Amino acid sequence: MSNPAQVTRPPNTLLAKVGGGFNGINAEAIAKAEEALKAMSGQFGQWLQDEISKLDNAQAAIRANGYTSKTAEDLYFRAHDLKGLGSTYQYPLVTRLAGSLCKLMDDPMRRMDASLVLIDAHIDAIRAVVRDQIQTDDYPTGRALSETLEAWVAEHRAE
């Protein structure tokens, strides 16, 4: 005669380890942080230009030294920074375009296969939307630009 199977459920101690839910969020602290961010918003334009200069420098390094694993990685990190900062600096379209560039270069094993023409198109698009102050894809040109680049990246990744 065999013993029937027994199911043992271990206790879920994750909640205790991470300190509970978000009940302890201080609404006043969030309001202060939002106010501080609003006060700094006058500097967003310059900070965004600084990030674009870093992207330009990464592109210039590729032109000067070739598309190597180091120059590709440097460009990827610049694009990744812009992906994270674009919306913060009130340019969600920059976040979208930089995100598309990151998607093109995300896989370190395939990064060297990325099309330089497509990389340059992304960088040119980012520069253009900031220059022309196209902050969102509500603007038809911004939408068309981002959708076209994303489609090209999808084609490239499918190859």
**Main-chain dihedrals φ then ψ at residue 86, nearest 5 degrees:** -55, -50
Q: Is it the case that residue 1 has pLDDT exceeding 60?
A: no
Give the number of residues written for the chain.
159
The pLDDT score that the predictor gives to residue 19 is: 60
Residue/partner pairs of 145-148 with CB below 8 Å, 24 or more apart: 145/97, 146/93, 146/96, 146/97, 146/100
Residue predicted with more confidence, 11 or 110: 110
Supply the Cα-derived Rg of the chain in whole angstroms: 22
Per-residue pLDDT band at 77 (split at 50, 70, 90): very high
Q: Under CATH, what is the fold of the domain 43-158?
A: Four Helix Bundle (Hemerythrin (Met), subunit A) (1.20.120)
Average pLDDT over residues 31-52: 85
Average pLDDT over residues 81-108: 94
Cα-based angle 19, 24, 28 (whole degrees, multiple of 5): 150
Average pLDDT over residues 33-58: 88
Q: What secondary structure letter does DSSP report for 133?
A: T
The pLDDT score that the predictor gives to residue 14 is: 65
Average pLDDT over residues 67-89: 95
The pLDDT score that the predictor gives to residue 67 is: 96
Rounded CA-CA distance 13/26 in Å is 25
Return the half-sphere exposure (C-beta side, CA atoms, 13 A cut-off) of residue 25.
8
Q: Is it the case that residue 109 has pLDDT exceeding 80?
A: yes
Average pLDDT of the chain to the nearest whole number: 88
Residue predicted with more confidence, 93 or 2: 93
Nearest Cα to 93, choosing from 59, 121, 140, 134?
Answer: 134
Rounded CA-CA distance 144/5 in Å is 60
Q: CA 62, 89, 136, 32: dihedral to nearest 10 degrees?
A: 150
Average pLDDT over residues 106-112: 91
Average pLDDT over residues 49-70: 96
